[in-house]
Every structure is written in C-alpha cells, then in structure tokens.
C-alpha cells in the first residue's frame, strides 16, 4: 500500500507512471509510523489489512522508476518513518477492492 499523492510527487503526474511502481493499493491516506503503528488494522470495504513490521525502504525498481534522487530521499534517515515508499500489510480478511473505495483505520 502506498500513498497516491506521494507517488504523484515522485512521478510529476498522477497518470500511469504512478502505477509503474507496482503497488497493489494506492490510497489517499496517512501511512506514517506516527499514524499507523505496526499491527494497526485498516479496513477497505470489508477487507481488513494489518500493518507489517517489514520496512518498505524502496528497491531497485523504485530507483529505476523515480530516479536516484528520489530513491535517496526515500531512504534518508529522517524520512524512513514517513513511509514515503508505502508499507507492507498482511490480509486478515479478504474482499474485492475497487478504485474509490473508502479506507479507514480500525484501531
């Protein structure tokens, strides 16, 4: 899961370039560690996701898609807790999720 507005900042647009980073869910939702602790549950329709403790600090594909400067910015020590590259979740309850579905924090 990644924040769609953050990805728009890296790509310079909100078009297909954003989709190129390969995330399953693009959300307009605060993904920072301060807002979503590890273990927090997020509801999308009736699907429930649990925030993982695995850090998404970007990968080579991110550097390829967004450039070296964005890659370094994502990994900068002061930015890691902002989860600029998104976060990993496990599926607690599955359901079909569609564009425009509401995202809410359960706990």
| pLDDT > 70 fraction of the chain, expressed in percent and rounded | 88
The pLDDT assigned to 85 comes to 83
Q: Which domains does the chain have, with CATH numbers?
A: 2-105 (2.40.33.20)
At residue 17, does pLDDT exceed 60?
no
The pLDDT assigned to 21 comes to 62
- Look at the block and give the residue holding tokens 């450039």: 67
Q: Of 7-11, 13-17, 35-39, 56-60, which range is least confident?
A: 13-17
Does an H or E element contain 93, and which? strand 89-93
Q: Which pTM does this prediction carry?
A: 0.79
d(CA 100, CA 58): 25
Residues 6+ apart with CB under 8 A from 26: 1, 2, 3, 4, 7, 18, 19
| Beta-bridge partners for 104 | 43
pLDDT band at 104 (very low <50, low <70, confident <90, very high): very high
């Amino acid at each position: 899961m990644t924040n769609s507005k953050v990805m728009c900042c890296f790509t310079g647009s909100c078009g297909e370039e954003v989709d190129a980073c390969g995330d399953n869910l693009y959300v307009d939702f605060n993904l920072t560690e301060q807002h979503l602790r590890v273990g927090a549950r997020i509801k999308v329709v009736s699907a429930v996701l649990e925030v993982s403790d695995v850090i998404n600090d970007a990968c080579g594909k991110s550097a390829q898609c967004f450039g070296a400067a964005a890659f370094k910015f994502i990994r900068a020590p002061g930015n890691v807790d902002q989860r600029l590259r998104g976060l990993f979740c496990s599926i607690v309850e599955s359901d079909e999720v569609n564009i425009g579905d509401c995202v809410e924090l359960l706990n």
